[in-house]
Amino acid sequence: MPPSDSTPLPAIDPTSPSCQSILSELHTKYRSLTVGKVANYIPELAKMDPDWFGIAVATVDGQVFTVGEADQLFTIQSISKVFVQGMALEDHGRDYFLTKVGVEPTGDAFNAIILDEQSKRPYNPMVNAGAIATTSLIKGADPTERLNRMLEMFRRYIGHDIFVDIATFMSERATGDRNRAMAYLMRNFGMIDGAIDEALDLYFQQCSVMVSCRDLAVMAATLANLGVNPITGERAVAATYIRDILSVMYTCGMYNFAGEWAYRVGLPAKSGVSGGIIVVVPNQLGIAVFSPPLDDRANSVRGVKVCEELSDYFGLHLFDSSMGCQKFLQRFGKGSV
């Protein structure tokens, strides 16, 4: 039987605070939740174990707390869109970026073939059409240089070298006709310039980058830390574009669940069809959850539950007057890097 949403977490002993114990309780509470289905429209994704379940929290002062399969590698998928948006902004600036990609939420599915009727732009960089247009903006003399620049960008956020899973990339490429349709439609309206196949290959490659839940928590904490990786101290993105990234995450990051997410959780977030969710608590910490089974809006079932409970339990909602995130940092000691 899945756990009851109303089941309270046990009281915390204030004399021996432990973030690990809270994450462990959440992991225990929701690991038996078996609803949802692993994505199968990309064949490689269908191979993921539905029992994989990891939670990680990274703070802006470099603490990292994990539980479960937090070091299991998986493909980043749509969570990559957040970081590629930042790269495109650095390459072109805010004004030019907005001529190619909008920032409006949409109630449509993430893979809808639809553009804004007036501007002909894709609605935002978090849906597939907008993400493809965003990726096409990445500068480089040739496809190899663009890919290497992108991998280096991810390295700065994570703190170590990363790689593209070739099997997933080839699987995405072989089944990507819907994304091709979007790309050709956008080129017709001038939202994409240049070779469609090169832009799509780079997009499929960014979605096929391998990460862990721990990596995602550090990436989220880097955004929370105004673009500086809290583990390495290296800047990953210019601080001036953090507001752009977090604004779009808040309004568009959870697809057609974005409004309810903003209401219930109240934090910038992004999900991916491999089962990852990242959450940013500005100036405080990053949260990541990984669990492959998805709901009918392509968000991790366990991931949504964990994030809702963490936000409620600690008062993390941006409009919660209790300042829960401050209490979180005051309450817990050092984690393990």
Percent of the chain with pLDDT over 90: 72
Q: Are residues 246 and 258 in the same domain?
A: yes
Last residue of a domain, one of 153, 181, 207: 207
In terms of Cβ atoms closer than 10 Å to its own Cβ (0-12, 13-18, 19+), residue 239 is exposed
Within-domain flag for 317: yes
Q: Of the listed 64, 255, 280, 300, which one is catalytic? A: 255
Whole-number pLDDT of residue 293:
98
Q: Are residues 93 and 56 in the same domain?
A: no
Report the number of distinct structural domains present in the chain.
2
Q: Of the listed 57, 218, 273, 281, which one is catalytic? A: 273
Give the chain's mean pLDDT: 89
Q: Of the listed 60, 78, 279, 304, which one is catalytic? A: 78
pLDDT in tens, 145-168: 999 999 999 999 999 999 999 999
pLDDT in tens, 200-229: 999 999 999 999 999 999 999 999 999 999
Q: Evaluate if residue 16 carries a pLDDT over 50.
A: no
**SS3 assignment, position 286:** strand
Q: Of the listed 29, 81, 100, 270, which one is catalytic? A: 81
Rounded Cα distance, 29 and 187, in Å: 48
Whole-number pLDDT of residue 322:
59
Whole-number pLDDT of residue 14:
33
Six-digit token string for 39: 């994505």
CATH number of the domain within which 245 lies: 3.40.710.10
Within-domain flag for 4: no
Q: Evaluate if residue 314 carries a pLDDT over 70.
A: yes
Q: Do the beta carbons of residue 256 and residue 107 sit within 8 Å?
A: yes
273 an active-site residue? Answer: yes
Interval 113-124 mean pLDDT: 79
Six-digit token string for 327: 């209490």
Last residue of a domain, one of 207, 227, 254: 207
Q: Are residues 232 and 180 in the same domain?
A: no
The DSSP letter of residue 123 is S
Rounded Cα distance, 320 and 65, in Å: 24
263 an active-site residue? Answer: no
pLDDT band at 115 (very low <50, low <70, confident <90, very high): confident
Q: Are residues 104 and 201 in the same domain?
A: yes
81 an active-site residue? Answer: yes
More confident residue, 177 or 17: 177
Q: Of the listed 30, 123, 157, 203, which one is catalytic? A: 203
Whole-number pLDDT of residue 329:
58
Rounded Cα distance, 306 and 304, in Å: 6
Rounded Cα distance, 164 and 216, in Å: 16
Q: Evaluate if residue 333 carries a pLDDT over 50.
A: no
Q: Are residues 247 and 231 in the same domain?
A: yes
Within-domain flag for 153: yes
Q: Are residues 35 and 184 in the same domain?
A: no
| Host domain of residue 276 | 19-75+211-331
